[in-house]
Amino acid sequence: MRLDTVRLPWNSIGLLAVLLALVLLFSVLSNYFFSALTFRTLLNQIPALTVIAVGMTYVLLIAGIDLSVGSVMALCAAVAGVLLAQFGWSLWLAVPAAMLTGLACGALNGYISARWRISSFVVTLGMLEIARGGAYLVTDSQTQYVGNAVGIFGATLPGLGVSISLIIALLVVLAAQFVLVKTVFGRYMVAIGTNEEAVRLSGINPIRYKIMVFVLAGLLTGLGGVFQLGYLQSADPNAGLGLELSAIAAVVIGGTSLSGGRGSVINSFLGVLIIAVMQTGLAQLGVSEPSKRIITGVVIVAAVVFDVYREKFSFINAGKKLS
């Protein structure tokens, strides 16, 4: 199945190159990095960030932004955590509840920003504060320990050694990429991102789709919260501080344009991998905190510069013609 229908400067070679380069580098520098074990642990850490990055990709595609993912994730995890730990709900009630919470936050973000035409930056900035407050409220600022109740998400599959969460996350990535390039909804997102007015003029109501995108993003954030809960077996109301920046970083490294209309879910996933590999590698090397920060910063910029320059020609062109 050919996933890219339109030749655009976001085919994945450049990113894969960067990723491999990093893996090689760390394999050379640390004798313990290049092992199945390392990759498994690495992969089991990313499900939450992955699904959230998927949602973020959609949001950026319609030229929006979502700063609230971090605290919304914390809130959703908190809700599930409290329901499990204190009200003794079963997993199959608590998880939907958490995802509904995410959905609600997303719906609010979408409704206010799309319907009232308020910049999503502001709306989600507000939600960032509100959801954090909510997380404190529901948990009464106490970390909620749920233990094995959510174990199944963290549980690793025999043979593969990767968690169920990861499998789900990967399925989400594929599904999302499919939706993006092969469904009407996906194409509308791209259209809205580049020329919302024209969409309106073709008798399609962009507002409805924009709200749907934010709802979807909220839902995925909720799912991320559940994964987080499964991974940590406890819900910390302070979780996900600054997650919005990591998520956006991953997506933008993946070549999705912040001005909308251009992006790919697969590449966002590669972006997530790049960030995860870097974190793990630096940790295994025991690099000092300052150097960690500096290296991280440099890699983020370098990755994008590299990607852009590999595509320079078509990039500039696009720039010229689309402006």
Partner 1 sequence: LLATLVACDRQEGEITITPYEAPEKPRVALITKSLANEFFISMAAGAEAHQSANADRYELVVNGIKNESDVAQQVNLVEQMMSASMDIIVVAPADSKSLLPVVKRAVDQGITVVNIDNKFDSELLSQMKLNIPFVGPDNREGAKVVGEYLAQYLQRGDQVAIVGGVPGAFNAQQRQAGFEDAMQAAGMNVVSKQSADWEQTKAAVVASALLSEHPNLKALLCANDSMALGAVAAVRQAGRTGAVQVVGFDNISAANRLIQDGELLATADQHGDQLAVFGIEYALQIFDTGAIPADRKTPVDLITSGQL
Partner 2 sequence: MEKTNPLLSIRGLNKQFTVAVLQDLDLQCYAGEVHALMGSNGAGKSTLCNIISGVLTANSGDMEFDGRPHAPESLLEAEAAGIYMVMQELNLFPTLSVAENLFFKQLGVVRGENTPQKTPMSGLLVDHGALREQSYELLARVGLNNIDPAMPVSELGLGQQQLLEIARVLHYPLRLLILDEPTAALTDPQIELLFEQINMLRERGCSVVYISHRMDEIRRVADRVSVLRDGRCVATQPVTDIDVDSLIHLMAGEGAATERSLADSAKRNRHTVMRVEHLAREGVFRDVSFEIRAGEILGIGGLIGSGRTEVMRCLFGADKADSGCLRFARDNFDQRHIHDCPQNAIANGVGLVVEDRKAQGLLLRAPVADNIVLGQERRISSALCVLSSAREAELAEPYVTLLNIKYDSQQQAVGQLSGGNQQKVLIARWLSMELPILLFDEPTRGVDARTKQAIHRVLRDLVAAGNAVVMVSSETQELLTLSDRLIVMSNGRIAAEISAEEATQERILRASFRYYNDVGTSGARIDAT
Query: Does residue 277 contact residue 300 with C-beta atoms inside 8 Å?
Result: no
DSSP 276-321: HHHHHHHHHHT--HHHHHHHHHHHHHHHHHHHHHHTHHHHHHHHHH
Binding at 137: pick from ligand ATP, a copy of itself, partner 1, none (beta carbon under 5-8 Å per type) = a copy of itself
- Residue 300 interacts with a copy of itself (CB under 8 A): yes or no: yes
Query: Does residue 50 contact residue 221 with C-beta atoms inside 8 Å?
Result: no
DSSP 157: P
- Residue 288 interacts with partner 2 (CB under 8 A): yes or no: no
Among 35, 183, 205, 291, binds a copy of itself (CB under 8 A): 291
Q: Give the Cα-Cα-Cα angle 105, 227, 278 (nearest 5 degrees).
A: 105
Among 88, 203, 286, 290, binds partner 2 (CB under 8 A): 203
The residues in 131-190 that bind a copy of itself, with binding defined as CB under 8 A, are 132-134, 136-137, 141
DSSP 150: G
The phi and psi torsions of 255 (rounded to 5 degrees) equal 90, 10
Site string for ligand ATP, 288-317 (x = CB under 6 A): -----------------------------x
- Residue 291 interacts with partner 1 (CB under 8 A): yes or no: no
- Residue 67 interacts with a copy of itself (CB under 8 A): yes or no: yes
CA separation for the pair 323, 130 (Å, rounded): 36
Q: Is 159 helix (H, G, I), strand (E, B) or coil?
A: coil
Kindly list the residues in this chain that would bind partner 2 in the complex (CB under 8 A): 2, 5-8, 182-188, 190-191, 193-195, 197-205, 261-262, 317-318, 321-323
Residues that bind partner 1 (CB under 8 A): 30-45, 48, 132, 136, 139-145, 147, 154, 156, 160-162, 170, 228, 231-234, 236-242, 279-281, 283-286, 288-290
